[in-house]
Amino acid sequence: MATNVYVDAFNLYYGCLKGTSYRWLDLGALCRRLLPKDRINRIRYFTATVSARPDNPDAPQRQQVYLRALETIPGLSIHYGHYLSHVTRMPLARPRPGGARTVEVVKTEEKGSDVNLATFLLVDAFTRDCNVAVVISNDSDLKLPIEVVQRELGLRVGVVNPHPPAPAQPRAPADLLQAAAHLDARRLPVRTRAHRRQRRDPQARRLVGQG
């Protein structure tokens, strides 16, 4: 069956990629491993371009290299939101007695990706672009569009939670559990060989000028 996969990049990164050495995630291989009986019709990747920061000045360049490599995957399209950064004051988790109770931090928020994902999910369902949709995210804001797509447009939607299971939240937020027709709650196998393929792929390496 024709399946579209909708990837919340920010959620995926913080759920199972940050802090690992597996940053070059081959999304085509990932989808084939998660859905071996389905025909992957298209992959929609929702992200935002990052800005250089004093502690990470090369982040934009590294991100562009990865995005250019992703564009070599057949059927994959990239959809952009944007990041907003501002200085704000946040409470300390463990303030010292008599000391400051807050600290200034740079807060970065991604804007637009959840709306973009919901929009394309609805459009693809309306145009009958696929038989099944799979959303890789645990963002409970997606509950309503998932419900509408299933109830009004008759499209089955599955959710894959990219975050590791926790005792208090073993699978995904309750909102998504209620909304999704079926839930694949397995952790994403980011440490498998299939997701390191792009690091060795000559085509991708030539594209990004590394080989």
Full-model pTM: 0.76
- pLDDT tens-digit profile of 116-125? 999 999 999 9
Write down the pLDDT at residue 190: 43
- pLDDT tens-digit profile of 99-151? 888 988 877 677 778 999 999 999 999 999 999 999 999 898 999 999 999 99
Integer Cα distance of 95 and 164 in angstroms = 29
Integer Cα distance of 81 and 108 in angstroms = 13
Helices marked H in 20-104? 27-34, 59-70
Annotate 158-181 with b (16+ C-beta within 10 A) or e (fewer): bbbbbbeeeeeeebbbebbeebbe
Domains and CATH numbers, the chain: 2-82+111-208 (3.40.50.1010)
Integer Cα distance of 161 and 170 in angstroms = 10
- pLDDT tens-digit profile of 14-38? 888 888 777 788 999 999 988 999 9
Confidence of residue 163 (pLDDT cuts 50, 70, 90): confident
Write down the pLDDT at residue 208: 33
